[in-house]
Amino acid sequence: MFLNLYRGLPRSVYALFGARIVNRMGDFVRTFLTLYLTRILGLPTALSGTFVMLSAMASSVGAFAAGHFVDSHGRRRIILTSQLASALLIGSCGFLPTGTYIPWLLIAGTFFMGAIRPAVNAVVADITEPDRRQSAYGLLYLGTNIGVAVGPMIAGFLFRHYIRWIFIGDAVSTLIAMAVVFSLVPETIPHAGYASSGNTPDMEDLERPERGPFLSILLRRPQLLVFALLGVCINLIYSQHSFALPLYLDSLFGSAGAAQFGLLMSFNAVTVLVATTLVLGATARFPASFNMGLGALCYLTGFGMLAFVSAFTPFGFFFLSTCIWTVGEILVVTNYQVFVASNTPLTHRGRFNGTMNLSFGIGNMLGPPVAGFFLAHVLFSSFWLFVAGASLIVATAYYLLYLYTGKQRRAA
């Protein structure tokens, strides 16, 4: 029954779904970037960490920088150009001699991979009706996790036996995804006459085309300013699953902590694959901002309950925690693009998507240093209570945003 959520979507959405699986299945470099920098290039841990951080920043900056070009030059053109540039930059590392310039080529490749995101999000917003967007974005999220479930195993084999194929295979998968987009995804940017006429009677008022600078339009839509700020906060909270959680397990279980963390991450991946369609089916009737508030409440429960565990707590408790915050992840990731699409003029979709991608990226980058500061002064139990409190504040803010946007639409 729940699979009906994905039926009847535009053909381009299914093509992007297939391209997403291939692309993320072949996302070898990101999976083993840290090990490559330390073990193969022999870089110090601190310098390797800096390069990893720069790579994450490049992806977010790439998404932000591409926004204007997505709106002015077309969604399809930016997707294809960025995929080609990324494949050439990353693939070249498989043929060049090993050297310290390799990380810079990878960072440049990551920049162009980031540029693809606002273009893909804009395509989906262009071609789907508002009530089908959660299903469309949810299908792409499912494609991401299908690829991620398989890709690391292939990457691990290549890293051990054919290290250069880490780069070549990554590039080949990007080129295959590029071929899918080239063959099956047409340009969706509204033509100039349509975008400037304002004569769009079937369109939601907040999606009608507008003229003027991006900043002035953003300032006229306070809900998007608030949403961007909440994006920083919600991803700062979520990032603790990959920073504070492994440290916590290490403090509880010692040398066994790493294996326990790996087990939880595998469980997270399985939960995403099994639960995404179920969660979307159960929440499809609710607005995106309301669902993101529910996601924040899942973070509150899933992370907050970690404040009450010890080394003697049955490990099933950690599985339950992971299951709950993973449901929160599903709700947040599948609904944030829906909110942006429903509150953005079609003439500026690329720019707004790029800006929101940047805000979420900032949250990811701030997560480790903020957590590190608190953990230097408080116990883990207090830290998880702080995370729960922050989640409650964010959930309340999303609920207020839901009330505001509902009132705004009724007034329109």
Question: Mind listing the pLDDT tens digit for each residue in 92-118?
Answer: 999 998 888 899 999 999 999 999 999
Query: Which of 145, 362, 371 shows the shortest CA–CA distance to 242?
Result: 371
Q: How far apart are the first and last CA of the chain?
A: 35
Is it the case that residue 193 has pLDDT exceeding 70?
Answer: no
Q: How far is residue 302 CA from its own chain's centroid?
A: 20
Phi, psi (rounded to 5 degrees) for 348: -130, 20
Quick one: 38 and 162 in the same domain? yes
Quick one: 332 and 248 in the same domain? yes
For residue 244, CA distances in Å to 159, 171, 390 come to 27, 32, 15
Query: Which of 294, 21, 10 shows the shortest CA–CA distance to 135?
Result: 10
Q: Output the pTM of the full model.
A: 0.88
| 292, 323 Cβ separation under 8 angstroms | no
State the pLDDT at residue 200: 46
Region 296-309 average pLDDT: 96
Is it the case that residue 259 has pLDDT exceeding 90?
Answer: no
Quick one: 164 and 55 in the same domain? yes
Quick one: 350 and 265 in the same domain? yes
CATH assignment at residue 86: 1.20.1250.20
Q: Identify whether 101 is part of a domain.
A: yes
Place of tokens 């529910």: 294
Place of tokens 């590190």: 372
pLDDT 10s digits, 272-295: 999 999 999 999 899 999 999 999
Distance CA(135)–CA(126), nearest Å, equals 14
Quick one: 25 and 172 in the same domain? yes
Quick one: 176 and 241 in the same domain? no
Instruction: Name 69's Cβ contacts closer than 8 Å, sequence gap at least 6.
Output: 78, 350
Place of tokens 């919600």: 234
State the pLDDT at residue 46: 78
| 313, 381 Cβ separation under 8 angstroms | no
Query: Which of 394, 398, 368 shows the shortest CA–CA distance to 383?
Result: 368
Count CB-CB contacts under 10 A for residue 330.
25
Range in 206-220, 270-284, 316-330 the model is least confident about = 206-220
Angle at CA 258, nearest 5°, toward 366 and 44?
A: 60
Q: Identify whether 198 is part of a domain.
A: no
Number of domains within the chain: 2
